[in-house]
Amino acid sequence: MIEVCDIAKAYRVRGESLAVLRGTSATIEAGAFAAICGASGCGKSTLLLILGGLLQPDCGEVTVAGEALYALSPERRALTRAQVMGYVFQRFHLIPYLTVEENIRAAAIALSRSDDPARVEELMQHFQIENRRHHLPGELSVGEQQRTALARSLYNRPKVLLADEPTGNLDPENEEIVLKAFDEFTEAGGTVVMVTHHPDAAQRADKRWWIRDGMLVEEQN
């Protein structure tokens, strides 16, 4: 489902090159729940952005659902992302002037498609935010924001869900809600890639990858 082929990425900081990923490859099958682990600053978020088609790698290619992302034009890539992927950011990035309900619907803004009220309703109920539907992000607790971001990422019924530290700031109860959602998503055939440094959360995944010295290393049980 997700194929990472010889990806390298270096950041340029004041003229100096900081190599984060150094030509690493991996394959994540459809229906898998994969966790990406590693020390802070090792490049987990960088990898996830590349998987999500948001960050052009210096070399290599990423294939998601059969589409070689970086062979596409930026517009096509954005469209593919909206159709195939859901992305949950480390800091949620809800649109501050849209209500919970509108934030969820905003996932479809790039797809010229009419709103799906039943889907919004279903997601809000599932994540227990239906009584916050008219609240703006600034009026939500962190857990509620996270659940809204999760609902948004699922709104277009993606095949792949990319989540960056989705449980990072959550209490156990909320963490459980999120992880359960991932379980359900994979059970329904979706693929989850979750970045985390929570050992408990990582244990819920059926595959764990570690980033060490810019390379992806699969954990062998």
The alpha carbon of residue 65 and the mean position of all alpha carbons in its chain are separated, in whole angstroms, by 15
- When asked if residue 24 is in the footprint of ligand ATP (CB under 6 A), the reply is no
Please, how many CA atoms are within 13 Å of residue 172, restricted to the half-sphere of its CB? 1
CB of 197 to ligand ATP, least distance (A): 6
- When asked if residue 41 is in the footprint of ligand ATP (CB under 6 A), the reply is yes
CA distances from 161 to 16, 95, 165, 220, 221 (A): 33, 20, 13, 23, 24
Closer by beta carbon to another protein, 51 or else 186: 51
Residues 124/150, Cβ–Cβ less than 8 Å? no
Q: Which does 20 bind (CB under 5 to 8 A by kind): Mg ion, another protein, ligand ATP, none?
A: ligand ATP
- When asked if residue 189 is in the footprint of ligand ATP (CB under 6 A), the reply is no
CB of 37 to ligand ATP, least distance (A): 10
Closer by beta carbon to another protein, 90 or else 169: 90
The residue from 33, 38, 45, 167 that contacts Mg ion (CB under 5 A) is: 45
- When asked if residue 40 is in the footprint of ligand ATP (CB under 6 A), the reply is yes
Pick from 219, 204, 192, 198: which is nearest to 52 by CA? 192
What is the rounded CA–CA span in Å between residue 51 and residue 154? 17
**Polymer length in residues for the chain:** 221
Query: What is the CB neighbour count within 10 angstroms for residue 211?
Result: 21
- Give the three-class secondary structure for 21: strand
CB of 220 to another protein, least distance (A): 29
CB of 91 to another protein, least distance (A): 7
The alpha carbon of residue 108 and the mean position of all alpha carbons in its chain are separated, in whole angstroms, by 16
The residue from 4, 7, 44, 204 that contacts ligand ATP (CB under 6 A) is: 44
Residues in contact with ligand ATP by CB under 6 A are 11, 13, 18, 20, 38, 40-46
